[in-house]
Amino acid sequence: MKVLTLGQKIKMARKDLGLTQAELVGDRITRNQLSLIENGINNPSIPTLEFLAERIGKPVSYFLSDDDFLKHEAISIINKCEHMNEHEDYQGTINTLEAFLQRIDLSEFHYDDLLGKIYALLGEAYLKLGDSRSEELLTNAIKYLNKDLHQVYICKTYNNLGCLASKKEDYINAEEYYTRGNNTLSEISLDNIVLKLNVTYNLAKTYSILRKHDRIIPFVNEILQYSKKYKIYHNFGEFKMILSNALANNSNYKEAINCMMKALEYFTFTSEDVLKNYCYTNLGIFYRMAKDYQNSLRHLEQSIVYFKMTDNYRALINSKAEKIKTLFFMHHDQHQVKELVGEIFNSVEDSQQNKADLLTILAVQSLESGEIDDAQSLFSNAEELFAKNPNSEFYPYANLGLSKIFKYNGDWERAYQYLSKANESRFEIKRRIKFE
């Protein structure tokens, strides 16, 4: 005996009553929606099925076995929670899904794809609320979701796992999760392009943190082609910022400036004032790298004015530190530079990078003033900080300064060692240290 599907049962009951599709649906759903249900293309939500059952004059149980009812209830709940997550009602998702899971027997729930979606939605909601239960749920979701049928869900889940790893500063695993998410979403369309741009932006940002700059340039250029193709410019400015930083790291300052200018135009158009002024700070850095110190100061002053006005204290301190670095290369008045360093030195917080640079500036000034012991102490302190991050334009100056001090003290071997370190840097030594 052939078992009828849900759609076939509805169609048979409708015909027994002599009703057309239009007569059955009334004004609740469209005739086309009913046609899709009857032909097994779409599944009705529980409220829709209850409506149709009432119109036909039969109980819902007539159309569904216990398993089928549970399946359709799960589908309805998943649709509801998708909507709640989209509208950031994460607690609502948690309450709804936890209640559903508590009243069903998971050993008898045979719909792995639906269970995978439930875990994915629940894990995302916990993640957004900062709850540690998210990782186990998201990992379980991957186990249950069918790779061929649920590319979007799997990509979102890997993206969420990557975000969780990034919060822990576990960037190696974050890169792995983002890569898997990106590779999962192989078929790009207008429906999923925003998700593609989200996961690839997170991956590009992780490449930047891991200093995989050579990988960034071709990767971001490829992703931006999707934006152009679909005319969806989601994360466009952020992509351009990452790309420009990678170009600058390869000493291609002209292209880095052009790329950052495009990011600036985008943020100006979208009224993203904070990001726009981060662009001004970065332009100040890149112009300094290109030895265009006047343009460097001009852009840094713009960001300083904005961050001071908006009380963005950390960004303000960073922009002021970059201004001091530019003044150093301009051979600005040493006394004024020293005062400026003193104003912000104890406020510098960005992973000690600015602190190391500013220590080097003070050390160079002390050395040029003949305060050799003070200079050596400052250079040594900077050297300790540079050990964690030697990728600074001021790192060669710390080595050059120590070389000059050891040469002055007659320690030729150490003088040569530090001079070699200074010459091995990828950064050009643009300012001579006036000490012999």
Summarize pLDDT for 298-333 with one digit per residue, the tens: 999 999 999 999 989 889 999 999 999 999 999 878
The confidence score (pLDDT) of residue 343 equals 84
What is residue 220's predicted lDDT score, i.e. its pLDDT? 97
Model confidence at 41: pLDDT above 90: no
Domain housing 56: 1-64
3-state secondary structure of 410: coil
Q: With CA atoms as reference, report the closest residue to 386 among 421, 414, 415.
A: 421
Distances from the Cα of 290 to the Cα of 123, 262, 296, angstroms = 47, 18, 9
Name the one residue in this structure whose structure tokens are 């994460």: 90
Residue 417 lies in a domain: yes
Q: What is the pTM for the complete model shown? A: 0.80
Residue 296 is assigned to a structural domain of this protein: no
Is 320 a member of any domain? no
Residue type at 308 in one-letter notation: K
Q: How many domains does the chain have?
A: 2
The confidence score (pLDDT) of residue 164 equals 96
Is residue 335 pLDDT above 90, yes or no?
A: no
Residue ending a domain, among 12, 35, 64, is 64
Is the model's pLDDT at 66 over the cut of 60? no
Last residue of a domain, one of 64, 96, 119: 64
Rg value, the chain, Cα: 31
290 vs 108, which has greater pLDDT?
290
Residue 275 CB-density burial (10 A; 0-12 exposed, 13-18 middle, 19+ buried) = middle
CA distances from 242 to 272, 277, 358 (A): 16, 15, 25
Last residue of a domain, one of 48, 64, 80: 64
CA 189 to chain centre: 21
Q: Domain holding 21: CATH number?
A: 1.10.260.40
In angstroms, the CA 147 to CA 152 distance is 9
Q: Is residue 150 part of a domain?
A: no
pLDDT of residue 1: 35
Range 160-166 average pLDDT? 97
State the burial class of residue 161 (Cβ atoms within 10 Å of its Cβ: 0-12, 13-18, 19+). Answer: buried
Evaluate if residue 113 carries a pLDDT over 80. Answer: yes
Least confident of 245-249, 335-339, 412-416: 335-339
Assigned domain for 3 exists: yes
Residue 421 belongs to some domain of the structure = yes
Here the CATH number for the domain that contains residue 418 is 1.25.40
DSSP per residue over 159-225, as a string? Answer: HHHHHHHHHTT-HHHHHHHHHHHHHH--S--TTTHHHHHHHHHHHHHHHHHTT-HHHHHHHHHHHHH
- C-alpha to C-alpha distance for 55 and 359, rounded to whole angstroms: 80
Evaluate whether residue 197 is within a structural domain: no
Are the beta carbons of 253 and 289 closer than 8 angstroms?
yes
Query: Does the residue 57 lie in any domain?
Result: yes
